Structure 1
């Protein structure tokens, strides 16, 4: 049994004493409680097996063994290089290179980060069900978060767009933003002419991106961006709408750039309050070489 299926609690005087109510207060959903009861989960209080309606006392030790998860075969394990930035019993954070999709398409033939992560988890004899918490476009590099079980995934989803889960990006853009820092608050919808594109649409979903200029160059600049919402292509669409698309983003800038073969966008920092241990994680991924070379060219 893998470690990530175990959750341990010590019952305090102010905690709910009925196990079901206690776990609900710990953000177990009703479906997770049903799975715990009906799909092989186990509950122990002071090393004795108990049911969800058992009443605990202050000082009791509660051990929850989560239901076993059966991985879907839609994602095949595939060997590949994995740059692990952080890992514990509940989370896996990796640095994705550009040119690699987050999830496989229906064709299921190409290698993606999820295929590589599944292979890695199987090799380490862990639950290999893929719980992708954050995804990146194929040609965006940087930090991606995977949960190691459905409960942790659920907890992360609850904080994904809060101050407990902050995502920061670096982007090299054409031109310079005025003012040099601010908030882009423009709704995003699906482009009516191409389902795979997004555009600014007053009937679209609310979308907010904070930005700050880090460096200005003659014809470009380096921005630090923080996502306040999580729409598809959000940063790319927002910057394009402001008249300053990302260098190399042919899809939204409508121009090729010989200095880089993809959009110069990198998820470089995550600040996460760990959903289980409540530790503050401050994780960073180094800027990839193609963006380093582009920045040098812009400085030159």
Structure 2
């Protein structure tokens, strides 16, 4: 039974709420999760006896919650192919996304996305295959992506997404040498009025956006930067680096030029530090630099062949 991510177990402490419903709210169950637990087949046991929301518990009691079955969306069809799993437990799945594949299906497009592949992966393991995307990456950005395995885990992760308990780090190779070598880019990002799928710096209507950067290595024509996202806007790193005059190499959408050295933006989510919302363990997860960015780094260093 312990493999079943629908089962949650708590021991009641002195400072926990004692009425079952209030306890669940205290432990971040959303109103829709409470509704589904009550009306869609969820079960609550206290000390092995089935109980209802109004039952009063005492310290030391053990409450077992069996969440209702989740109905997977038909909008995301399962597809089968390689999934590079970096971390997995009953609550979350972290994968290393290759470049050239979207995170989620677009409304008008069909085709393989990470959501389709993860659904196929979970089905092959006979697990709940409802897709709960916690973080997404642009099609041509590679690296770590987080999926929650249940709506409860999703809501817990959402609460910490833009806090110090959920830190996202990227590596990018940019044109030129950034001065100063490290700093904070704090510029609001809005939708480009001319091209709806692009973003730009918009001091009037844009949303607050912060990216911390640090130069890791300098080259004669470029730099390798480490970046930490403090907010999560669409295209944030790409727009911010362009705004300070150092667009990402290969990012033809924002740099305005095609680069023969790499066929996508040289941007990779290489590290996540997540305080696990259930176990409270600090997860330090990493995805190695992909081959095309390793090759680009070698070229920038002036070597002939990597």
What is the TM-score when the length of structure 2 is the normalising length? 0.97
User: Which residues of structure 1 form unaligned runs of 5+?
Assistant: none
CA drift of 1:56 comes to: 0.5
Match of residue 218 from structure 1: 220
Partner deviation per Cα, 1:223-250 (whole Å, 9 max, x = no partner) = 0000000000000000000000000000
Establish whether residue 157 from structure 1 lines up as the match of residue 158 from structure 2.
yes
CA drift of 1:13 comes to: 1.5
| Structure 1 segments of 4+ aligned residues over 6 angstroms from their partners | none
Partner deviation per Cα, 1:89-139 (whole Å, 9 max, x = no partner) = 010000000000000122452100000000000000100000000000000
Report 1:6-25 matches (<5 A).
6-25=7-26
Aligned residue pairs total: 300
CA drift of 1:33 comes to: 1.1
Match of residue 174 from structure 1: 175
Q: Identify which of 234, 237, 241 aligns with 2:236.
A: 234
CA drift of 1:18 comes to: 0.7
After alignment, is 282-291 or 34-43 more displaced?
34-43
Partner deviation per Cα, 1:159-204 (whole Å, 9 max, x = no partner) = 0000000000000000011110000000000000011000000121
CA RMSD of aligned residues (A): 0.9
User: Which residues of structure 2 form unaligned runs of 5+?
Assistant: none
Partner deviation per Cα, 1:53-110 (whole Å, 9 max, x = no partner) = 1101111111001111000110000111100000000100000000000001224521
What is the alpha-carbon distance in structure 1 between the residues aligned to residue 74 and residue 81 of structure 2?
A: 18
Report 1:1-300 matches (<5 A).
3-202=4-203, 203-300=205-302
Q: Is the Cα–Cα contact under 8 Å of residues 209 and 227 in structure 1 kept in the other structure?
A: yes
What is the alpha-carbon distance in structure 2 between the residues aligned to residue 57 and residue 131 of structure 1?
A: 34
CA drift of 1:23 comes to: 1.1
CA drift of 1:144 comes to: 0.1
What is the alpha-carbon distance in structure 1 between the residues aligned to residue 163 and residue 106 of structure 2?
A: 29
CA drift of 1:35 comes to: 1.3
What is the alpha-carbon distance in structure 2 between the residues aligned to residue 207 and residue 82 of structure 1?
A: 31
What is the alpha-carbon distance in structure 1 between the residues aligned to residue 121 and residue 279 of structure 2?
A: 23
What is the alpha-carbon distance in structure 2 between the residues aligned to residue 108 and residue 121 of structure 1?
A: 23
Q: What is the DSSP-based 3-state SS (H/G/I as helix, E as strand, rest coil) of the residue aligned with 2:5?
A: helix
After alignment, is 187-196 or 19-28 more displaced?
19-28
What is the alpha-carbon distance in structure 2 between the residues aligned to residue 117 and residue 160 of structure 1?
A: 21
Q: Is the Cα–Cα contact under 8 Å of residues 168 and 268 in structure 1 kept in the other structure?
A: yes
CA drift of 1:272 comes to: 0.3
What is the alpha-carbon distance in structure 1 between the residues aligned to residue 55 and residue 154 of structure 2?
A: 26
Q: What is the DSSP-based 3-state SS (H/G/I as helix, E as strand, rest coil) of the residue aligned with 1:86?
A: strand
Q: What is the DSSP-based 3-state SS (H/G/I as helix, E as strand, rest coil) of the residue aligned with 1:4?
A: coil
What is the TM-score when the length of structure 1 is the normalising length? 0.99
